[in-house]
Structure 1
């Protein structure tokens, strides 16, 4: 007697109800990439989802793994640069086709190294960044999302103002003139408390977009939005330069988000009004037990108009809404 294996996932469910997202999460892969003739390894984590129709019991989970392996081999090997959003796009399109779904969604986070010189000594230091990519493949086409997550240093403007005020009173009581006090504050940065900042910046490309966005551009914009960038390896001269730079550029968490958005608007003029922007800053407090956070998200056209006119945009399109196609 011959027994045939039934495709259980294709059975009719007990309740005819579609599901918004079904898939696999935390799929870990080591991706090999050819860069300048040498092979580099990237550690990546992926989430893959499809929508599920009301007449299908379950998704074929093993097909997610098959598609991920195929896409990594076909898309990434041999490319001159690793683009997480490109890999996410190919996986999403393959998953949608393989699962017979109307919609597929893929998210990728990869940790990758960049080498940069310390600000004074020039000593080379390795910095680790998070490269983020996402894609949604549907009947309308494929939306891509490229992002980065970086760390930096912020100096609190509020505490600095309080300390400067009290210092000004003490100097005046000791007989210093207003001109001398001003010269002192110009020469010596005033103390304040610091936070380590975590900046996350995303750019979303609509279905008809063919613009390539270099992750290094986003890293530069995000790092420059904070009081100072940070370095894993520094000499004493570098430490002094970083601390002084931060205290001469005090910024609130809100300032960092606004500066990130300014950087996108001014440094990426090739982006259209239909591109999506999400800027998020979280500062890890040092004199409080809580952290602070700020965000701005929406279509770039709305952000440009608000900056130009000063009129507040009534509704900010969220990242989730943009991925779902709710322009």
Structure 2
């Protein structure tokens, strides 16, 4: 037999320290991926972390198997595919517990409210899968930039109100399919106003006045988003966050709500 095919498998060797490892694997893996989008497959680049639990008597895990699993996946990613990848990873690494975290930018074509000018907006998405004693949970996450306008500032000021960019993050456990674009739209619907990449003057007038007519505290943002998710039968559980990057303070305003509807 060729010596190259009969090399020792050090990772599978016995370890005498008898200490289990909660998670071991790879982080900071950058790979091109294809995600399932509302308008068809979309190509992007992901930052990936993949880990498994390691028994007390096993010296190491097989790092190359993590990379092989993602490199060999050719179908567009969605919650169901991520769930299958988790099961396959656990089988390949002979593990019971594990995590997969895939973070990526994605893009949505949007039409300006007045001029109807088309442009591309960028958002951040993620799938976070976790296996606990073989029970797999997958979260679908989006980070959506929006505008928020302060109700207090509007009430007490003669000449307008201060507003700021806000980030709305929703991390959902789903009972049935929801596209990333639909998840973004839920976040945008609760904001003082959504954002566009390109606006004409008529659009700028519209978004300025729309935000003024829909003032929101950071508390309003998370409560309105929670209400929308409570009313959505596709959502089993959620964790939502709002962060306002204040325009009159050198700090952010922040709120979060976690709820399991099951």
Give the gaps of 5 or more residues in structure 1. Answer: 77-81, 168-189, 302-327
Contact 2:37 2:179 in 1 (8 A): no
**Distance apart, 1:298 and its partner CA:** 2.2
Note closer, same or farther for the CA distance 1:237–1:87 as it changes in structure 2 (3 Å cut): same
Question: Which residue of 1 is the match for residue 106 of structure 2?
Answer: 112
Q: Which of these residues, 17, 41, 44, is aligned with residue 42 of structure 1?
A: 44
Aligned-residue RMSD, C-alpha = 2.3
Instruction: List runs of 5+ in structure 2 lacking aligned partners.
Output: none
Which residues of 2 match residues 296-315 of structure 1 at below 5 A?
A: 296-301=257-262
**1:256 equivalent among 208, 221, 224:** 221
Give the Cα–Cα distance (whole angstroms) in 2 for the partners of residues 63 and 6 of structure 1.
17
Aligned pairs, how many? Answer: 260
Cα offset, 1:150, TM superposition: 0.8
User: In the alignment, does 2:226 pair up with 1:269?
Assistant: no
More strand by share: 2
Q: Does 1:219 align with 2:184?
A: yes
Kindly indicate whether residue 57 of structure 2 is the aligned counterpart of residue 93 of structure 1: no
Cα 1:30–1:7, aligned 2, differ >3 Å: closer, same or farther? same
Note if contact 2:16-2:57 (Cα within 8 Å) is conserved in structure 1. no
Contact kept? 1:88, 1:107, Cα under 8 Å: no
21, 29, 32: which is aligned to 2:31?
Answer: 29
Looking at CA atoms only, which structure, 1 or 2, has the larger radius of gyration?
1
CA distance in 1, matches of 2:41, 2:215: 41
CA contact (8 A) 1:152 1:196 kept: yes
SS in 2 for 1:229: coil
| Greater helix content | 1
Change (3 A) 1:193 1:36: closer
Q: For residues 98-132 of structure 1, what are the alpha-carbon distances to aligned partners after superposition, in whole Å with 9 as ceiling and x for unaligned?
A: 11001121111121111111011111111111221
Give CA-to-partner distance per residue, 1:266-293, whole Å, 9 cap, x none.
2x1244xxx2111111111111111121
Q: State the distance in 2 between where 1:297 and 1:254 align.
A: 14
Q: Assess if the C-alpha contact under 8 Å between 2:96 and 2:134 holds in 1.
A: no
